[in-house]
Structure 1
Amino acid sequence: MVTTADRPGAARTEVVRLPGGGSLWVVRAEGGVRDAEHPALRAVARSGPEHDAAVLDLALVPLVTAPGVRALVHHAHDLTERGSSLLVATDDPRTRDRLTADTTLTVVPTVAAAAAACGAPDTTPPAPGLDPASDSGNSPSRGRTDGADPELARLRQEVRHLRARARTHPLVSRAQGILEERYRLPDERAAFALLEASSQRFNVRLRTLASAVVTVPRPRSPDHEWFPRRERQAPPALAFQPGLRAATANTSEVLSAVLRRSMEITDATMGNVQLVDPVTGDLRLEKHHGLDDDFVDFFDRVSHEGTACALAAEHLARVTVTDVATDAAFTESARKAILATGSRGCHSTPLLAPRGRVEGMVSTHHERPVHALSAAQARALDEIGDQAGRWLEWYQRTVVLDALEHLHFTGSTWG
């Protein structure tokens, strides 16, 4: 029988941004820590000079052997020589006693306690009209768009619609031009009809299909399959959302489930999900809840810096911002947009494909500054990120390619 202590070791990393500046490199360990080969210890060693300290969370570790303790001490000394430090988080009395006996290891009960010990006190007052202690949770921005002026609301909705069309139209037009030239179609309307037919048949969004036409290498010729000898894989399970059938779900259903479950785990009232745009590499807003129109407009597309989600994509790890008002991760314009919607803290978790490629991001937003997540919350969010990331990769390699193959066949036989 294989016990929890005998399971292979695993490690998950995240970054906790501290109020007033600085950050912690957090490594969540699983499985028994028996020696220096545990993945969590190798992950601890990756803590860089940009982090104030590394924190090894042992909340899900059932056993730390004497060789494991010696390995921890070695890493603690190594980090000290590099100008950093190692804190070990555990609330298990036996593990704590083993770690503190005849060692210089610093032990704290939780990652949140480590963040509290390392973080500077928050002395920054909230922005005017954004009192985090308020029970209303309303911001001036929310009040502006709640329908007090129906004409203004209508105009704002029209502007958002026009912006969305302006962003999508060039991509679709580019795909139309490619198809028109490739299949010698009579005009752009025929190219659009080709796109639309495959989009509807395979329930793939037109924008997604147009992106694939633009980014996927072209077929060898009209007389050959676009993807010969392609191996079809079974869809990965979406265990975080019972009842959601992975084989027949569409992207909208999966992302809605990702957002809903992530908000439940973190007890959040606001949140959003983004996908990586295959053409630009930006994070593109796909789903949101509880966020006002100004937030949605501002963060419709996020580039590679100036936000927590961009930082999470860079680290390939979740980023927790304990207090938006004081965190240097944001540009000033991004900070104002987040505070105006009523958010003071956030957790941004990447949706990761198996080889570490970011497929998207789910972020939960909170009306007050947040603490570091518990080990159970962190594991649950990581599982959502892993399952959704694998499914999104499968969807692109299976359903979207099926739609392209159908489009190719139809285009090759046009007329």
Structure 2
Amino acid sequence: MGATGGPGTARAEVVRLPHGDGLWAVRAEGGVTDADHPALHEAARPAPGCTAVVIDLALVPHVSPEGVRALAACARTLAADRRALLLAAPNERLRRALSAEGISSAEGGHAAEGGFSAEGGFSAESRSAAEGGSFSAGRPIVVRSVAEAAAGCATSPAQPTAAQPSAASPTPAAPSTPATQPAEPPTPPGELLRLRKEIRHLRAKARTHPLVSRAQGILEERYRLPDDRAAFSLLEASSQRFNVRLRTLATALVTTPGPRSYDSVWFPARERRTPPRLAFAPGLRTASANTAEVLSAVLRRSMEVVGADMGNVQLVDPVTGDLRIEKHRGLDEDFVEFFDRVGKDGTACAQASQQVTRVTVTDVATDPLFEEPAREAILAAGSRGCHSTPLVKQPSDLPEGVVSTHHERPVRALSAAEARALDEMAAQAAQWLEWYRHTVVLDALEDLHFAGSTWR
């Protein structure tokens, strides 16, 4: 995903269409004056599974004649690979300028005659040309927005199939109890909720306990502690003193190389950094905030930008590489438990983390991206569409986590303003998370080292 803001930049994302095809959306910024614009480079390398490319020109002030020729050359290159190039230009003056330079428009001309229309998508002639390797003669097609491009590229209406029921689909009635076996009295609702809560608590404890036990073992051996209780006391004290979660501190202890000496500091060459500013949360004191406060602000801002009532934030586990839910809102406990840890496949957030690009799923009910148990859990929570944005600090392209918003109905592609707001927030949050890990968490490890050394 390209850098955010400034002239001559681009941000790419995947918009998944209802039945599995993908649209590679490249959000361009700054004037397109030649073939060196980052948007053209991003357009030339779409993510796997994307059958069309759209360059969003909403934040582009002008396209020069040389830029038009570069766009046309990009369209020919993509056509050779059986992909179409669409240009999303909400500005009417820019659309007319592009049409004057010979680029097709979905409002009329070449595209309306034999290519693309907002209502009907690509014509049969264009689809046949695509199969032959020369989509619409390799000409770019102008549309008004990425959402319009996605609607036109969709191959069929977004309706659940029989094998993929929607959240509103009735479930088959359970078989009746045989007459020879007396029915057991139903469990009281309050007792059932208590038992389910207890089970969730035990499962969460079972997931965290091995990590903490491993950290305790490291401390016992390193500082010759008398037992695991002394090791836990050290962990707990440093965790509370620096307001760092016990699991976070244990993870850092397990993944960080040990100190060279017991009579010196752990990180002697470390330079202290200034906490980055979070423009999306101006009331938050970044120097003293903890991850829970920052991630709550990330989730709140994301839901405001896209108008969602449900969402969650996940962080990458440094030990396993999995995504782990840290914050959620509007989602039930069954959803949170099912997606407590997410691997590298089978969900939109996993794809966003692996490809380091936002993934929009227009319809959860029909998209083959999801493994069936995951689809059922999302639909049961009342979500039919989602946007998953990786938290990435440029230019590292290493995600710190993913923020996802969930919607009751199938979604459209984001507008340029929405995409820009999410990307800027994600970059700021990722920068703060990196600062926190290299400053506050290392301070807690340093404190732990000092306390442990006194036992030797």
> Counterpart amino acid of 1:111?
V
Q: Contact 2:161–2:366 at 8 Å: present in 1 too?
A: no
Q: How does 1:181-200 map to 2 (within 5 A)?
A: 181-200=221-240
Query: Residue 236 of structure 1 corresponds to which residue in structure 2?
Result: 276
Aligned to 2:405, what secondary structure does the other structure show? strand
Aligned with 1:124 (options 149, 156, 160): 160
> For 1:339, which of 343, 360, 379 is the aligned residue?
379
Please give the alpha-carbon distance, in whole angstroms, between the structure 1 residues aligned to 2:378 and 2:323: 16
Match of 1:381 in 2: 422
Name the structure 2 match of 1:73.
Answer: 72
Of residues 302-311 and 228-237 in structure 1, the stretch that sits farther from structure 2 once superposed is 228-237
Aligned twin of 1:108: 143
1:414 aligns with 455
User: Contact between 2:58 and 2:90, CA under 8 Å: does it hold in 1?
Assistant: yes
Classify the secondary structure of the residue corresponding to 2:365: helix
Residue by residue over 1:163-215, the C-alpha shift from the partner in whole angstroms, topping out at 9 and shown as x without a partner, is 11101111000000001100111111111111111101110000000000000
**Contact 1:90/1:107 (<8 A) preserved:** yes
Output the CA distance in 2 between the equivalents of 1:244 and 1:323.
35
Q: Name the structure 2 match of 1:60.
A: 59
Query: Is the Cα–Cα contact under 8 Å of residues 99 and 105 in structure 1 kept in the other structure?
Result: no
Of 65-74 and 207-216, more deviation after overlay is shown by: 65-74
Q: Which amino acid aligns with 1:303?
A: G
- Is structure 2 residue 342 aligned with structure 1 residue 306? no
State the alpha-carbon separation in 2 of the partners of residues 7 and 284 from structure 1: 33
Counterpart in the other structure of 2:199: 159
CA–CA distance in structure 2, aligned partners of residues 235 and 123 of structure 1: 47
Q: Is the Cα contact below 8 Å between 2:235 and 2:249 reproduced in 1?
A: yes
Tell me by how many angstroms 1:98 deviates: 2.0
| Pairing of 1:250-329 with structure 2 (within 5 A) | 250-329=290-369
* Residue 82 (structure 1) aligns with: 81
Residues 9 and 38, structure 2, Cα contact 8 Å, conserved in 1: yes
SS of corresponding position for 1:326: coil
Report the number of matched residues.
Answer: 397
Cα separation, 1, equivalents of 2:39 and 2:8 = 8
Structure 2 CA distance for aligned equivalents of residues 161 and 48 of structure 1? 39
> In 2, distance between residues paired with 1:44 and 1:204?
42
Corresponding residue for residue 19 of structure 2: 20
Q: Percent of pairs identical after alignment?
A: 66
Does structure 2 retain, via aligned residues, the 8 Å contact 1:49–1:84? no
Q: Structure 1: how far apart are the matches of 2:316 and 2:77?
A: 37
Kept after mapping to 1: 8 A contact 2:166/2:379: no
- Structure 2: state its 5+ residue gaps: 104-138, 170-186
Cα distance per residue 1:311-342 (max 9 Å; x no partner) = 00111111000000000110001000000111
Match of 1:143 in 2: none
Kindly provide the CA deviation profile for residues 205-241 of structure 1, in whole angstroms up to 9, marking residues without a partner as x: 0000000000011111212321111011111111011
**Which residue matches 1:136?**
none
Secondary structure of the residue aligned to 2:312 is strand
Q: CA deviation at 1:130?
A: 2.8
Distance in 2 between the 1:199 and 1:130 partners? 42
TM-score (norm 1): 0.93
How many angstroms apart in 2 are the aligned matches of 1:254 and 1:122?
36
1:380–1:186 Cα change, 3 Å: same
> For 2:62, what is the secondary structure of its paired residue?
coil
